Amino acid sequence: MGPLILNTRPEADSQELETTLLQRGYRLLSAPMLRIEFPQNPDQLDLADVQALIFTSANGVRAFTRQCDDRRYPALCVGDATARTAQQAGFTDIRSANGDIHDLARLIKDQIDPTNGALFHPAARKVAGDLGSLLRDGNFDIRRQTMYDAVPSDCLPNEVVSAISAHHIDAVLFFSPRTAESFVKLIERHKLQKDLVGTRAICLSSAVQDRLSVLTWLKTEVAKHPTQEYLLSALENAFA
């Protein structure tokens, strides 16, 4: 049997990931650390004079497409997973930064003329970085609108608690600082801090790793580039 992996990513983002893990021989448990919620009565979208859309997550694509049927806008995506979601939603002009928010800012500076109009950013209530500040010196008009919320989970599934207590989980995957923060709080709530000493933490970025530093791990691995493909490479390296 392969190593037992705990996936903490939200359910909507996990189908492709979990299929890949199973194909590579890993066993899986799932404990989404964030629950994505869309407003029941969303605000009207302000798309006047918008030249392109900014998607910093697949959930941004989902939020936008719940409220707007127009797919003619160029979709500026933080990474390939978000770009694939945009493609599945019907967008045709899709540009992927294949990285993090800093890579996305560079893509926008390189490919977008700020004089052609505003950039509309469907965002979560809490965002991981300040894209506006990264683009401030380029005179871009970033029109950010809160369109969904990522709510931290308030419990761990019983089977996950049992597996951690029994030291059965070989590695945990973390894709964002907020999922890491939620995980730490739940580990402390369940008093499982001493039960991760034989477990590996696989982190998308150093910012994710920082949120997990209060826990004692067998080892931590950080993806060389903030993409799912590189995170899976870090997972493989953890067992080398």
| CATH number of domain containing 73 | 3.40.50.10090
Cβ–Cβ under 8 Å, residues 30 and 11? yes
Q: Is position 170 within any domain?
A: no
> Number of folded domains in the chain?
1
User: What is the model's pLDDT at position 81?
Assistant: 87
Cβ–Cβ under 8 Å, residues 97 and 127? no
Q: Is position 214 within any domain?
A: no
Q: Is position 88 within any domain?
A: yes
Q: Which residues of the chain have pLDDT under 70?
A: 128-129
Cβ–Cβ under 8 Å, residues 183 and 172? yes
User: What is the model's pLDDT at position 167?
Assistant: 97
Cβ–Cβ under 8 Å, residues 226 and 205? yes
DSSP E strands, the chain: 4-7, 27-30, 34-37, 50-55, 75-77, 94-96, 118-124, 142-152, 171-174, 200-203, 219-222
Q: Is position 122 within any domain?
A: yes
Q: Is position 96 within any domain?
A: yes
Pairing type for strands 171-174 and 34-37 reads unpaired
Cβ–Cβ under 8 Å, residues 228 and 82? no
Tell me which DSSP letter residue 137 carries: G
How far apart are alpha carbons 164 and 194 in whole angstroms? 10
Q: Is position 127 within any domain?
A: yes
User: What is the model's pLDDT at position 27?
Assistant: 97
- The domain of 70 spans 53-148
Q: Is position 138 within any domain?
A: yes
Q: Cα 58 to the chain's mean position, in Å?
A: 8
User: What is the model's pLDDT at position 99?
Assistant: 87
Pairing type for strands 34-37 and 50-55 reads unpaired
Q: Is position 142 within any domain?
A: yes
